Each structure stands twice: as structure tokens, then as C-alpha cells.
Amino acid sequence: MNKKISKFLGILILLVLAQYGASAQNGGFEISFDIKGKEPSDVYHTFFGAKDAGSAEVEMIGNGRFVLKGELNSSVVARIGFAGVDALRKSPDGRGYYPMKSAYIWMILSPGAKFNVKGDLTGKDFVDIYPAADDENSYFAGLNTKIMPLINENGNIMLEMARNKEMEESRKALLQGRAKEIAGQIQQYKLDFLSQRPNSIAALWLMEDMLVRSELEVSAMADLFAKVNKGKFEGNYFFEAVKSRVEAADLVAIGKVCPEISTDASVDGTVVSLSDYRGKFVIIDFWGTWCGPCMAGVPHMKAFRDKYAGKLEIFGVSNDKKVDVWKAAIEKNGMNWPNILIGTGEKDFVAKFNVQGFPTKILISPEGIILHRESGERDTFYQKVEEFISQIN
């Protein structure tokens, strides 16, 4: 072989290896799946963690084989779902379906991760596949092997009760009793896990998930959170989110001075601050373009604001990830009031205000005091606002 060609090939190989090494070092990850017994038409993924944690794509190979790969700059909890596999869906009417955690593969992904996931779903009506490629995933798998079969059983109980409108009372009572028993078992498994494995990403994710779903009082979660090694996890997305929610329980209570919201993550990039609207009542509206009730309530909220023009302002806080979609929704719906996107850490205002559902609306007095808060889209909130406004007229 010509020496020049040989030298060129050697350099080329070194460059390829260097690029591969740099990708792994910079957060490139690749997870290969081999799932037997089901043939999904497509595979989709959701990452739970920082909004800018990374990105990924799925490469379908066929026969239950596919690859999830991309780049990460921080650890995330990944949820992998299968399209076109009806056996995994709990559909009471053939149209909609119950969102069950047991219908997904769950795992912890960190920058540089590379491992294989195998499983067999033959004859299964839920996904009992629990990756355990490293310590973090082993901890997570230890929890999920216990709770996912129970979550699935509860889903089947919901299905039976929804489909059988003529069910005998004795059968109904039996199923309701079992569902209550299952809920208690799941809760205990979660609490045991948090107590035994507090210093894990899975535990921190679970803490936030339970707070968001109001599965545990903040005071009780504070005791569990106190066991976490702060030196190890400080700066981690889930650690900071739980910390913010625990602290928010007292900071954003009714009667307290509302914490400041200030950010340049506004529609035009200028700094927007909640304190700029002192002297008026302010409705802080936590919303998202993906939230049906949020968008359905915009016309009424806008009309209500206009009714009390000069006395009342709306301050929108969105939990969206796609800036273009967010901006388009604001323009389309004429949401002509201050609107911002949440960020991470100190800018994660959803966590700082311990928002547990969307929409959530918080009423602030002209002096900046928290007067009232409600989740959901109900007329009762606006009735309460009118009561407060009438008291100063």
C-alpha cells in the first residue's frame, strides 16, 4: 500500500475515534432495544428533567429492535412508549385510554450512557421491562418491579368498572376495595424506596412526581428530603425542583408576600417582573399550550381582565418547551398581558410556587400579598377575585 495512503487512512481512523470519544465525553448516548412479543409501529420518548437537558431520536430497525440515541448535558428520567400496540392500552371505549405508567419502559439516562435493553412482552398487557444497566437504573428497577404490576392491576380494575355498567354491587365493592388496597401498597413501596434510597436520581424524581400529584404532604416530603446528600446532588434538576417545592410550601402560603418573578424569558426578550405591577391586583396564570383547560379558559380570563381594566392585570407563566409554539399561541389567542417561560433552578417558577396542576391561578393583592389560589378552570376563582376587588372600592 502506498505510504501516503496508509498514513492518510491512519489519520482518518484516529479522527473518527476522536470524534466518537468526544461525543461520548460531551454527552452522546445510545441505548439499543430488543423487545420480543410486540411489534410497535413507532416508538416515542419523553424526557423528564431540565428543559434543555438534551435531545434524542429513535432509529427503528424492525422485529422489536430499535435504538434511542442523542445528546444529554444532564441526567433525565426517560419514558419509552410504543405506538400501535393496543394490548398495552387501557381503553374503556375503543377511543380514549387511561394513561398508565405501566405502559412504558422507564429508565435513568445520563450523558455518555450506552447499554442494551432486552425484554419479552409476549402475552403481556403491560410493559414489565426494567433496565438495570448501572446503579441508578438498578435502584429504579427495584422500585418499578414492585409497583408497575400493581399499577397495571389497578388499570384493569378501572377498565372492568368502566365497561360493565350493570355490575353487581357486590362485585363493585370488591373491586373498589382491591383498588384501595393496591393504592396503599404502591404508596408504601414508594415511601420505603425514598427512605432506603434517598441518594439517587430515581428518588429525587419520585419526590417531585409525588409532590406534583399531591400524593404526599409537603411537610412529610421535607422529612424525606432532609436525608438527601445535598453536596452530591446540589445543582441536579430534580434536587433543585424538590428543594423549591419544599421551601415554597411556606413561602407561597396564603397571606405571605409573593416571591418575585423576574426574567428576560418574555415574548420579546425584555426583562419582565411581577413587582412592576404593584398597585393592581394580579392573577398569576400558570398555563401551557398543551393544556386544554388552560386554552379554553383564555377568552373568559381576558374578558374578566378587561372588565376590571386599571385594577387588575394578568401575569402568564408558561410551562412550554417550544418557544415558537408558545409565541404563536399568545398571538393567536390575543393574550396581551405579560407572559414568560419558566426556566431551571431559580427560574423554575412552577417549582418555586409549588404548582401541582394546570392551570393554576394565584391572586396577588395590590400590596403584593398572596390572597387566593386555585387549580383548574372554574368560575369560583373569578367570583373570589371579585370579592377581593369589591372590598377596596
Residue 91 confidence (pLDDT): 85
The share of the chain scoring above pLDDT 90, in percent, equals 74
Residue 3 confidence (pLDDT): 52
Residue 378 confidence (pLDDT): 87
Whole-structure pTM value? 0.74
Residue 10 confidence (pLDDT): 54
Between 189 and 352, where is the model more confident?
189
Residue 94 confidence (pLDDT): 75
**Mean pLDDT throughout 378-385?**
92
Give the tens place of pLDDT for each residue, 266-307: 999 999 999 999 999 999 999 999 999 999 999 999 999 999
Between 10 and 82, where is the model more confident?
82
pLDDT over 80 at 60, yes or no:
yes
Task: Tell me how far apart the alpha carbons of residues 71 and 111 are, in angstroms, rounded to a whole number.
Answer: 7
Residue 69 confidence (pLDDT): 96
**Mean pLDDT throughout 223-232?**
95
Domains and CATH numbers, the chain: 3-189 (no CATH), 198-251 (no CATH), 262-390 (3.40.30.10)
Give the tens place of pLDDT for each residue, 95-123: 778 889 999 999 999 999 999 999 999 99
**Mean pLDDT throughout 371-391?**
92
Across the chain, what does the average pLDDT equal? 90
If we measure between CA atoms, which residue out of 140, 151, 153 comes closest to residue 187? 151
Q: Rg of the Cα trace of the chain? A: 25
Q: How many Å separate Cα 28 from the centre of its chain?
A: 23
Q: How many Å separate Cα 97 from the centre of its chain?
A: 19
Classify residue 244 by burial, with Cβ atoms within 10 Å: 0-12, 13-18, 19+: buried
Give the tens place of pLDDT for each residue, 4-57: 555 555 554 444 444 444 444 468 999 999 999 998 889 999 999 988 899 999
Residue 158 confidence (pLDDT): 94
**Mean pLDDT throughout 365-386?**
93
In the chain, DSSP finds a helix count (H) and a strand count (E) of: 12, 14
- DSSP letter at 370 equals E
